[in-house]
Amino acid sequence: MTPLEELIAREYFERNGFYFKRLTLNLPAELPKTKHPISLPPTYLLQRQTGRTKNQPLEDRFQLFSSDIGGLALGTLTIISWQGTGLSLPMFQSFSRYRSWVRNTIAPVLKFLQSSLQQASFPAPPLPIVLLPGLPSQDPYRKEIIQILKENGIEALFTLRTLLESLIHQIDTHSLTPDSAISEILRLLKTYDLISPPQLDLFEDL
């Protein structure tokens, strides 16, 4: 079964004018050693349907939001989900344990994948992006996680909350045209007032 995070990411990026294609990488037989057993996360190519390939400079931004999507033209997105990564709710709710999970479990895999991506052929240099379940709102945990990601080849980050929040705002409850399973679920939740603007705090980052 396709992890929910992949379905959400596909819905988000295709709605924003991107081709969303899973990459097949030539990976060594020996996988990186991590603290928790982990399946290799999927990596997708993000490419503008208009054919534009030049990304706008990020300046000092690392965490991206929907307001930044216009500057993105070509990227690779590695999706880190809850499933198969050793992440638990207590770990997610603890800044220090979440940081340790990123450092000891996710970072070695990201470095491994980025090394493989450097051997792939792209029309222009893609922006290496990771999708994480969340990012702590407080320092030093936030800064330390960002630094860990940078040291392992990542140049930008989306959180699942950002994607969900954007989709919830975009879904029209009056539309009768089915789009996808994700859009239909969100439409039903909005129709029955199970999601309303004040409840978007449910998706707030750590």
Written as one string, the DSSP assignment of 137-157 is SSTTHHHHHHHHHHHTT--EE
**pLDDT tier for residue 196 given thresholds of 50, 70 and 90:** low
**pLDDT tier for residue 21 given thresholds of 50, 70 and 90:** very high
Task: Using DSSP bridges, classify how beta strands 18-22 and 43-48 pair: parallel, antiparallel or unpaired.
Answer: antiparallel
Residue boundaries of the structural domains of the chain: 4-203
Residue-wise pLDDT for 68-102, tens only, equals 999 999 999 999 999 888 899 999 999 999 999 99
Using the predicted structure, report yes or no on whether residue 203 has a pLDDT greater than 70. Answer: no
CB 71 within 8 A of CB 141: no
**pLDDT tier for residue 28 given thresholds of 50, 70 and 90:** low
Cis peptide before 140 (omega within 30 of 0): yes
**Average pLDDT of the residues of the chain:** 87
CB 36 within 8 A of CB 105: yes
